[in-house]
Structure 1
Amino acid sequence: MSLPESLAEIVDDFAAVDGQDKLQLLLEFSRELAPLPPELEQDAMEPVPECQSPLFLFVDSNDRDRVQLHFSAPAEAPTTRGFASILHQGLDGHSAATILAVPDDFYSELGLADAVSPLRLRGMSAMLARIKRHLRV
């Protein structure tokens, strides 16, 4: 699987825990979601309606060698925030080419299928798909 080291480390972290510990790790990621920079208004962000909770993202690809990702999700949506944080910590600052090479279904390697509904997993897939769509333009 072609993953940047930062994302591969996250996948390894999830592989190292079982069952409810995976959910606990996802909750830890939700608490680590980076705040939006003050100059970025939510109106400039794209909604991801496939997510069960409100999620907005912004892809700054002006520098194709160092893509900046920003996510906004409410605190009462820890699963969505956790997924956003995984993508932020795993992909932010990487090149467009590196992000585009990430397999669309990499999230299956997190082993969350037994702990999280398929609809929620589809939300993570949609986040990555929208990021890639921005980078293909």
Structure 2
Amino acid sequence: MTATDDLPEALAAIVEDFTAVPAADRLQLLLEFSRDLPDLPERYADHPELLEPVPECQSPIFLVTEVDGTGDDARVSLFFSAPQESPTTRGFAGILHEGLDGLTAAEVLAVPNDVPQRLALAEAVSPLRLRGMAGMLARIKRQVAERAAVAGQHPA
């Protein structure tokens, strides 16, 4: 088994991209994900109270999941709010968005908790920042588990 065999396809590709580039280039790759993080849709931009804070992150970041359907086959949508001046935090959010958005609830819930460590960023970012990404993943998984149990539940 390789380091990505137990990951969904999109997330596996991201991990492979990070581990394939020299350590010096990984921070630049993280910044690319920061720039690609989608803006919040109006229903959340106008109602930030609907998003959950991630206090493990050094920078202010908020997230919310939507689950369309119930059970394992319910589809997950992810939304993040992170300031432009926090590129590391935005980058982690961008990775999780690209790697998890659109998956089924079962696929999201099966993502191993050690994904942040698999990105081989330990030399580029502090352990505290990696814990922030782990905090984002934990909240995503908890929200998905809660929402997949109730038909088509959206926080808005």
TM-score range relative to shorter protein: over 0.9
Deviation at 1:19, TM superposition (A): 1.8
1-structure distance, mates of 2:69, 2:7: 20
Within the alignment, does 1:39 sit opposite 2:65 as a pair? no
CA–CA separation in structure 2 for the residues paired with 1:76 and 1:20 = 21
Deviations 1:30-83 (A, max 9, x none): 000011111222221000011000000011124342101000100000000000
Deviations 1:78-111 (A, max 9, x none): 0000000000000001001000111000121110
Q: Distance in 2 between matches of 1:59 and 1:136?
A: 10
Task: State how 1:113-124 maps to structure 2 within 5 Å.
Answer: 113-124=122-133
Distance 2:69 2:117 in 1: 29
The match for 2:154 is: none
* Counterpart residue type for residue 65 of structure 2: V
Q: Is 1:52 aligned to residue 52 of structure 2?
A: no
Aligned letter for 2:58?
Q
Instruction: Find the aligned partners of 1:87 and 1:103 in 2 and give their Cα distance.
Output: 13
> Percent identity over the alignment?
61
Larger Rg computed on CA atoms: 2
Query: In structure 1, how many angstroms separate the alpha carbons of the residues matched to 2:49 and 2:145?
Result: 22
* Structure 1 portions without partners, runs of 5+: none
Please tell me the residue identity of whatever aligns with 2:61.
L
Cα distance in 2 for residues equivalent to 1:57 and 1:81? 11
Q: Name stretches of at least 5 consecutive residues in structure 2 with no aligned partner.
A: 147-156
- TM-score, normalization: structure 1? 0.96
- Residue 67 of structure 1 aligns to a residue whose secondary structure is strand
Q: Match for residue 9 of structure 1?
A: 13
Within-5 A mapping of 1:99-114 = 99-114=108-123
Moved more, 127-136 or 48-57: 127-136
2:95 maps to 1:86: yes
**Conserved? CA contact 2:67–2:144, under 8 Å:** yes
What is aligned with 1:28? 32
How many aligned positions are there?
Answer: 137
TM-score in terms of structure 2 length? 0.84
